[in-house]
Amino acid sequence: MLVATYDRTGPANEVLRVTEFPTPTPGPNEVRVRLAWSGVNPSDVKTRAGSRTRVLPFPQIVPHSDGSGTIDAVGPNISSARIGERVWIWNGAWGRAHGTAAQYIVLPANQAVQLPENIDLAAGACLGIPALTAYHAVGMNGGVQGKSVLIAGGAGAVGHYAIQFAKIMGARRILSTISSDRKAALAKAAGADVAINYKNEDVAARVQAETAGQGVERIIEVDFGANVALDQQVLKRDGDIVVYGSTALEIALPFVPMLIKNIQLRFFIVYNLTEHDRTRAIEELTALLKGNRLQHNVAERVSLNDIVKAHEMVEQGRVVGNVLVQIP
């Protein structure tokens, strides 16, 4: 089978190559998926670049955790009725050497989730990281029913789903930061009441004006290092900040202002959701997909041979939405 792979960290054009690997066979409790699409996320790009650690967890890596396709073989203990099922994948490359940038992936059967008939396979490759991250960020810690929420970076892959989930879960008012008119339109179409251009507006003043001077009750944060001072300023007392991203790897906190406001900080990584939280998120997501309640934003579709280009697009942050690799 064809795969994209790397055996050392570094720039995409130096370390990624497309080659042949033996086609894997599913073992007990596993399924094999013939992949159609492989989703590229910032995390895949950072791991390949070596920006977190230069030491690879496996000698040879097939990247990407997200993907979609059709089950074509099952191992012992798995019903053959699953053969032919259209599925989306989570954690394909988390703690595993072999991700979705390949014609086939073998993985535990529960990591291949049935995709409702009405959802196309390309959208299925956006769910594992962007949609599940957004769902958990919005739904955790009592959710957002009746609350005002600030979603930083509402046109991003995660942010765009987060706005939709906040709307669905009954947020009273949804504010979002963006950096262009095009991104503002995307955030509003997803359900944001207010889009604030953080590059040329006074975000703190706008948030206060839009919330009658109260501030927001939850912030869903894409870059905590960049926004920590703003967040503590615009968060209402007893509010929480759900942090899923940060460019800075070490962050100084304004201790006293955060203390006085009783601010709660919540960090999480989608790869390590508890079984309970993941099951709940997948069930709810499936119901929303069946009801056609979600917009998906596939921005770029790139062939497997152009995987370097796909990584560079994500790395440079030029793309508004998800980047997918089409599997031949």
Residues 155 and 172: beta-carbon distance below 8 Å? no
Residues 148 and 211: beta-carbon distance below 8 Å? yes
Site for ligand NAP (CB under 6 A): how many residues? 27
Task: Candidates 97-105, 120-128, 155-163, 166-174: pick the segment binding ligand NAP (CB under 6 A).
Answer: 155-163
Q: Of residues 245-274, which lie at the interface with ligand NAP (CB under 6 A)?
A: 245, 268-270
Task: Candidates 66-74, 218-226, 231-239, 283-291: pick the segment binding ligand NAP (CB under 6 A).
Answer: 218-226
Q: How far is the CB of 282 from ligand NAP (least distance, A)?
A: 15
Of the candidates 135, 153, 184, the one whose C-alpha atom is nearest the C-alpha of residue 282 is: 135
Is residue 311 within a helix (H) or strand (E), and if so which, with residue range?
helix 307-316
Question: CB under 8 Å to 272, separation ≥6 — which residues?
Answer: none
Q: How far is the CB of 117 from ligand NAP (least distance, A)?
A: 27
Interaction between residue 159 and ligand NAP (CB under 6 A): yes
What residue is closest to ligand NAP based on CB?
156
Q: How far is the CB of 104 from ligand NAP (least distance, A)?
A: 25
Is residue 88 within a helix (H) or strand (E), and if so which, with residue range?
strand 86-89
Interaction between residue 157 and ligand NAP (CB under 6 A): yes
Q: Which residue has the tokens 């003043």?
A: 205
Sign of CA dihedral 180, 183, 189, 193: negative
Q: Which residue has the tokens 């709940």?
A: 280
Task: Candidates 47-55, 87-95, 177-185, 248-256: pick the segment binding ligand NAP (CB under 6 A).
Answer: 177-185
Among residues 153, 191, 215, 239, which is the contact residue for ligand NAP, using CB under 6 A?
Answer: 153
Is residue 290 within a helix (H) or strand (E), and if so which, with residue range?
helix 275-290
172: number of CA atoms within 13 Å, CB side? 9
Residue nearer to ligand NAP on the CB measure, 152 or 163: 152
In this structure, what token pair is assigned to residue 8? 């050392």
- In DSSP terms, 114 is beta-bridged to 87
Binding mask 178-207 for ligand NAP (x = CB under 6 A): -x---x--------------x---------
Among residues 12, 15, 73, 158, which is the contact residue for ligand NAP, using CB under 6 A?
Answer: 158
> What is the binding site for ligand NAP (CB under 6 A)?
41-43, 129-130, 133, 152-153, 155-159, 177, 179, 183, 198, 222-223, 226-227, 244-245, 268-270, 317
